[in-house]
């Protein structure tokens, strides 16, 4: 159900295209700063997308352009097929936006605030009560609806921000660091809440908490210096940026013997990390090799047949998203250096 009236002859939610968000060659300059430097991407309906990048990469600026709060210097951003710049007011009503450090009126009660927001969002009067109940229920705020916002914990306030964002049942939700400063319990609650929107709304979240992004998002876009440096599912990004395979083995026996066994398989199999031994004498050892060739089976057979070693478990270990992020953003620094050299600017930098 959409509360939005189609007052123009622009497409409605029913005939909106497959991609709810389309960005093409978007640029935003602040004086000499290229905050957003020619980014293009598309997001399919109902997907949850993580927007990652170091501080100052251009995430908030991109989000603000998508919401119609900032104007792009050039390029196009479309929501449900409609260019944002063509009708920012209309777009604002199709988007739920939760900015970074979401400012809330601290003196209002939760329900009172949502009532006011429902009016601002032009939800028809007859549907407001229902919309508020749904938002309160989805964000587990029914118990807190009569409490003063200023007296709520940070986690509850973030939930009020999300309730506001979903209130008008928008096509797109944009959240700038929704879990910043929350304790791990609250992070899990907000993560589950965001995951529950999958399929119903298209969601873009920016965050520096990478495991959270990995758990919640279908697609990830990594930006740095205003440019996209990586894009895809977590598995696709690993495939692009991680150039080694890691195995974790729990083993009893001397590490020297393990090294000898490894070199009989491939001299490049290296021990990366060794934990302390547990009381039973087992240690967890991380073994790494460059490239994507799978050594799992040979490793298992060799260790199981080695009389001096007793393996207890073996598994291949996925690289954390943090490694992908670091590799993607490091790569772009190198590209920037190359650009400077190409432009003959390296002397100015040094």
Alpha-carbon span 194 to 326, nearest angstrom:
25
Using alpha carbons, select from 253, 308, 307, 259 the residue that is nearest to residue 283.
253
> Is 61 or 231 the residue whose CB approaches ligand ATP more closely?
61
> Is 36 or 289 the residue whose CB approaches ligand ATP more closely?
36
At a CB cut-off of 8 Å and minimum separation 6, what does 344 contact?
none
> Smallest gap, in angstroms, from Cβ of residue 216 to ligand ATP?
18
Q: DSSP secondary-structure letter at 109?
A: B
Find residue 231's DSSP bridge partners. Answer: 221
User: Tokens for 124?
Assistant: 């028809």
> Smallest gap, in angstroms, from Cβ of residue 264 to ligand ATP?
48
> Is 59 or 191 the residue whose CB approaches ligand ATP more closely?
59
> Is 35 or 162 the residue whose CB approaches ligand ATP more closely?
35
The per-residue DSSP string of 308-350 comes to T-EEEEEEEEPPPHHHHHHHHHHHHHHHHHHHHHHTT-HHHH-
* Cα separation values, 106 from 12, 28, 96, 112, 150, Å: 35, 33, 20, 11, 4
Find residue 44's DSSP bridge partners. Answer: 19
> Smallest gap, in angstroms, from Cβ of residue 180 to ligand ATP?
9
> Is 26 or 35 the residue whose CB approaches ligand ATP more closely?
35
> Smallest gap, in angstroms, from Cβ of residue 73 to ligand ATP?
12
> Is 57 or 258 the residue whose CB approaches ligand ATP more closely?
57
Quick one: three-class SS letters along 232-266? ECHHHHHHHHCCEEEEEEEEECCHHHHHHHHHHHC
> Smallest gap, in angstroms, from Cβ of residue 36 to ligand ATP?
7
Residues that bind ligand ATP (CB under 6 A): 30, 33, 35, 53, 55-61
* Cα separation values, 277 from 253, 274, 303, 314, Å: 10, 9, 18, 16
Using alpha carbons, select from 205, 210, 207 the residue that is nearest to residue 175.
205
> Smallest gap, in angstroms, from Cβ of residue 328 to ligand ATP?
14
> Smallest gap, in angstroms, from Cβ of residue 55 to ligand ATP?
3
Q: What count of other Cβ atoms lies within 10 Å of the Cβ of residue 166?
A: 22
> Is 56 or 181 the residue whose CB approaches ligand ATP more closely?
56
User: Tokens for 322?
Assistant: 């943090």
> Smallest gap, in angstroms, from Cβ of residue 51 to ligand ATP?
8
> Is 63 or 163 the residue whose CB approaches ligand ATP more closely?
63
């Amino acid at each position: 159900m959409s509360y939005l009236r189609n007052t123009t002859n622009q497409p409605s939610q029913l005939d909106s295209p497959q991609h709810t968000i389309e960005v093409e060659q978007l640029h935003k300059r602040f004086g000499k700063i290229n905050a957003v430097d020619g980014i293009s991407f598309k997001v399919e309906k109902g997907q949850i997308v993580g927007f990652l990048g170091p501080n100052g990469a251009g995430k908030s600026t991109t989000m603000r352009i998508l919401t119609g709060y900032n104007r792009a210097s050039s390029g196009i951003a479309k929501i449900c097929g409609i260019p944002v710049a063509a009708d920012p007011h209309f777009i604002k009503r199709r988007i739920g936006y939760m900015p970074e450090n979401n400012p809330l009126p601290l003196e209002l009660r939760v329900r009172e605030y949502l009532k006011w927001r429902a009016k601002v969002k032009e939800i028809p009067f007859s549907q407001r009560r229902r919309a508020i109940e749904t938002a309160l229920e989805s964000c587990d705020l029914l118990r807190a609806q009569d409490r003063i916002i200023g007296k709520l914990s940070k986690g509850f306030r973030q939930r009020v921000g999300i309730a506001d964002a979903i209130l008008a049942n928008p096509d797109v939700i944009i959240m700038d660091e929704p879990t910043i400063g929350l304790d791990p319990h609250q992070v899990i609650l907000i993560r589950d809440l965001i995951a529950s929107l999958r399929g119903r709304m298209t969601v873009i979240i920016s965050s520096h908490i990478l495991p959270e992004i990995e758990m919640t998002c279908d697609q990830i876009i990594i930006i740095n210096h205003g440019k996209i440096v990586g894009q895809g599912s977590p598995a696709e990004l690993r495939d692009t940026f991680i150039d080694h395979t890691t195995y974790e083995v729990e083993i009893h026996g001397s590490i020297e013997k393990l090294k000898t066994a490894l070199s009989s398989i491939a001299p490049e199999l290296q021990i990366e990390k060794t934990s302390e031994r547990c009381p039973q004498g087992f240690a967890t050892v991380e073994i790494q090799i460059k490239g994507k060739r799978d050594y799992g089976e040979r490793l298992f057979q060799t260790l199981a047949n080695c009389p001096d070693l007793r393996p207890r478990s073996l598994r291949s270990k996925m690289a954390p998203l943090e490694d992908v992020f670091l590799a993607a953003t490091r790569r772009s620094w190198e590209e920037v250096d190359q650009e400077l050299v190409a432009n003959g600017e390296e002397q100015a930098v040094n």
